[in-house]
Amino acid sequence: LSQIKQSWQVRTAHPVSYDMVFCHDLFDPGNGALLTTEGEQGGRRRFVVVDRNVLNHHGAAIDRYFQKNDIIACIHPLEAGEDNKSPSQLKAVLSALDTFPINRRNEPIIAIGGGVVTDLVGFAASIWRRGVPRINVPTTLMGFVDAAIGVKTGINFNRNKNRLGSFSPPDRVLLDSSFLQTLPKRHLLNGVAEILKLAIVKEPDLFSLLEQHGRHCIEVHFQDSISQAILSMSVDSMLTELAPNLFETELARVVDFGHTFSPALEMHADMDLLHGEAVLIDMLLSSIIAWKRSLLSRSDLDRIFSLVLTLRLPLSSKGLQPNMLMQSLIERQHHRNGVQRMPLPTGIGSCCFVKNITLEDINQAVTYLHRWLQDRHFEYGHQNHERIFQRGPRGN
């Protein structure tokens, strides 16, 4: 009896591999990209969650696609927007799935939409039968360069961003930029903010490309070859950063630039900010703090601000409360295991992590941003964005 084994350790390495590919004519019935599955032969049923606005544009083509390919598809429309990234929408998706059970391995769930759809459906797929495969088809710029290509899924809970979620890789991501043709301008600019994030802290060449061509790419809704180059660089840059740290073992993450104060801003109902709009404010406050601490040169700070002007990104300091920003920092500190680890730019294309940001730093940055906007006689949020730019900002 003295030799009875009394302790055990389970260890396994769980390999992660998934593909991402630029494609076009996704709903052409001859295009098999949406249907092929890894390994086993694909089954004949698909549970397809589609953003309601995307369904308005592509519903007929999606129906035809599955019919022609002899697939029984259950199309579940999902209302996007941050308010719908909720437990009740998650439950609705899971309930619909319950009435249309799919094979566990060879009938992947398909998510077609922006970050709200791919985050929520990704979470649903990761808990359904403890995890079934899924394919992501991002239809917003935010999804294209960020939300749909990593392994994080989630929904908001108790007014906290992404409080419930999982690390769950998609099986495939299909990147078709033609979806961006119908994306409203505000949502296009929302995605540009995430591209700008990578450019500031990681990619000096991308920053220069945005300076030269960013405005044009926005005008053509990212439909030409220079736009494709910017999209490809952005996806590549994001994946290079994510891949070695997929499960966030390392908590000091360059891609967290702009994501310290932004969760609180985004969840603040009165401010009515999209994810990228909140990230933009955070990036500028962080850049000001970096400059005030002599980590970033004045000329690089000016370059960042003038690119924001060139791209005409919506920006407002209305309702910015230093105490609320401090609370967000404290919350993020828990998320980063008790240390602030806040990314600050140290030049165009580089950053460092700091752990001693104070309320005074935040106060100074808010005051600076507020004055900067006032001095230029414009305070442009998304509501009056177009109107202000028709008139043109005064000063530079």
Ligand X SMILES: NC(=O)c1ccc[n+]([C@@H]2O[C@H](COP(=O)([O-])OP(=O)(O)OC[C@H]3O[C@@H](n4cnc5c(N)ncnc54)[C@H](O)[C@@H]3O)[C@@H](O)[C@H]2O)c1
* Residue 180 or 365 having the CB closest to ligand X: 180
* Residue 113 or 345 having the CB closest to ligand X: 113
Cβ 238 vs Cβ 173: under 8 Å: no
Using the Cα atoms of residue 329, residue 334, residue 335 and residue 340 in order, give the sign of their dihedral.
positive
Q: How many CB atoms lie within 10 A of CB 2?
A: 3
Helices (H), 9-110: 52-68, 87-98
Q: How far is the CB of 58 from ligand X (least distance, A)?
A: 8
* Residue 85 or 336 having the CB closest to ligand X: 85
Nearest to 171, CA basis, from 149, 144, 195, 140: 149
What is the C-alpha separation between 279 and 265, in angstroms, rounded? Answer: 9
* Residue 168 or 366 having the CB closest to ligand X: 168
Which residue type occupies 338? Answer: G
What is the C-alpha separation between 148 and 138, in angstroms, rounded? Answer: 6
The catalytic residue positions are 152
What is the C-alpha separation between 162 and 171, in angstroms, rounded? Answer: 21
What is the C-alpha separation between 86 and 287, in angstroms, rounded? Answer: 32
The Cα angle at residue 334 between residues 291 and 260, in degrees rounded to 5: 30
Q: How far is the CB of 275 from ligand X (least distance, A)?
A: 4
Q: How far is the CB of 147 from ligand X (least distance, A)?
A: 4
Q: Which residues bind ligand X (CB under 6 A)?
A: 51, 53-54, 57, 80-82, 85, 113-117, 119, 139-140, 142-143, 146-147, 150, 152, 179, 182-183, 187, 190, 275
Q: How far is the CB of 155 from ligand X (least distance, A)?
A: 9
* Residue 26 or 54 having the CB closest to ligand X: 54
Where do we find the tokens 């899971």? Answer: 94
Q: How far is the CB of 391 from ligand X (least distance, A)?
A: 27
